[in-house]
Amino acid sequence: MPAKIIDGKAIAADLREKIAADVAEFHASTSVTPHLVAILVGDDQASAVYVRNKEADCAKVGIKSTLHRLPAETTQADLLELIQSLNHYPDVHGILCQLPLPAQIDEQTILDSIDPSKDVDAFHPENVGRIAQGRPRFLPCTPHGCQHLLIASGIETKGAHAVVLGRSEIVGKPLAMMLMQRGAGGDATVTICHSRTKGLSEITRQADILIAAIGKTKFVTADMVKPGAAVIDVGINRDESTGKLVGDVDYEALLDVASAITPVPGGVGPMTRAMLLRNTLTAAKLSR
Ligand SMILES: Nc1nc(=O)c2c([nH]1)NC[C@@H]1CN(c3ccc(C(=O)N[C@@H](CCC(=O)O)C(=O)O)cc3)C=[N+]21
């Protein structure tokens, strides 16, 4: 039987409907409109993709959004100054600084400077620490989107062996923590693999749930996947010959092996954006 295709676009649309209702309810009782500020420095392509859709998403659910576009040669001091002013501005609830940043700017310094209660990416060390301890304030958008796709698709994580390919601070590491956590979308047995892992395909073949977040086109081939496994593809790569977005897995080949799989585009990407909306509402609530 061919794999069930997990429709991230539809699941994200459902989520946005719920968020829109929650935003309306929050506004009715407080008169506050949640406000997200995004900062884009330079012209990285992946970030541009993200920003293009994000403003429309905010409008759909009644969230105010502002975009600060800064030139590629912006200094770290100037960026820090902008973030400081946004931190202090009570009308701003969420702050997102698009990664990657130009080479003259130290990303960690910037992420550390965002007020943790406005950190809708959940990249600040205080928020990462809270996730690690199982008492999150915000969940990081992409891992939360992956977890929600599993829950919405009825894929049982409890007791399952989840193998996470990739150890990034943005996806792999926090997602592994979240899948391990007690409760819905958690209770999995988690293995994290990365570029130095020996015998990679022996490990990935044990996965009931395989999450690919390595940023390499078609890295996961059919022989690396156990028949019947659920596959979540976090990759957003640009195919050089066709210019199309492609994931980290050999999607066509895996259709005959996996029980469920996310497409790219239309899988994890829309979920990331929906979770950002939810975090912005959470940030607005925290400000009260
Ligand atoms: N501080 C920060 N936080 C981020 O979350 C962040 C970031 N920086 N920098 C860039 C990456 C990339 N990213 C994407 C999210 C959604 C789609 C997305 O919606 N993709 C659509 C396709 C869009 C299209 O058609 O081009 C999809 O997969 O269906 C893409 C890329 C968030 N990022």
What CATH number did the domain enclosing 40 receive?
Answer: 3.40.50.10860
pTM of this structure: 0.97
Separation between Cα atoms, residue 100 and residue 102, nearest integer Å: 7
In a domain, 91, yes or no: yes
Same domain, 50 and 151: no
Q: How many domains does the chain have?
A: 2
Which residues, 6+ apart, have CB-to-CB distance to 47 below 8 Å? 40, 98, 99, 100
Whether the pLDDT of residue 49 is over 80: the answer is no
- Look at residue 5 and tell me if it is in a domain: no
Q: What is the pLDDT of residue 47?
A: 82
| Interval between CA 234 and ligand 1 midpoint (Å) | 10
Residue 210 has pLDDT above 90, yes or no: yes
Region 176-202: mean pLDDT is: 97
Same domain, 166 and 237: yes
The answer to whether residues 75 and 109 belong to one domain is yes
How many CA atoms are closer than 13 Å to the CA of 151, on its beta-carbon side?
A: 16
One domain, residues 185 and 231: yes
51-86 tens-digit pLDDT: 878 999 999 999 999 999 999 999 999 999 999 999
pLDDT category at 46 given cuts 50, 70, 90 is: confident
Q: Do 99 and 148 fall into the same domain?
A: no
Report yes or no: 147 and 178 within 8 Å, Cβ to Cβ.
Answer: yes
* Centroid of ligand 1 to alpha carbon of 30 (angstroms): 31
Annotated binding-site ranges: 166-168, 236
141 lines ligand 1 (CB under 6 A): yes
Q: Residue 181 sits in which domain range? A: 141-269
Average pLDDT value over all residues in the chain: 96
Query: For 94-145, how does the pLDDT look when each residue is reduced to its tens digit (9 = 90+)?
Result: 999 999 999 999 999 999 999 999 999 999 999 999 999 999 999 999 999 9
Please tell me what DSSP assigns to residue 34: P
- How far does residue 148's CA lie from ligand 1's centre (Å)? 17
Give yes or no: residues 145 and 105 share one domain.
no
Q: Is 223 a catalytic residue?
A: no
Task: Identify the pLDDT of residue 52.
Answer: 79
As to burial, measured by CB atoms within 10 angstroms (0-12 exposed, 13-18 middle, 19+ buried), residue 31 is exposed
Binding site feature residues for NADP(+) = 166-168, 236
Phi, psi of 96 (to 5 degrees): -130, 120
pLDDT in tens, 18-45: 999 999 999 999 999 999 999 999 988 7
Q: Residue 126: which of 138, 144, 143, 109 has the closest Cα?
A: 138
- Indicate if the pLDDT at residue 214 is higher than 90: yes
Q: How large is the ipTM? A: 0.98
Ligand 1: which of 47, 107, 113, 119 to mutate, judged by most atoms within 8 Å of the beta carbon? 47
pLDDT of residue 19: 98
pLDDT tens digits, residue range 161-188? 999 999 999 999 999 999 999 999 999 9
104 and 155 co-located in one domain: no
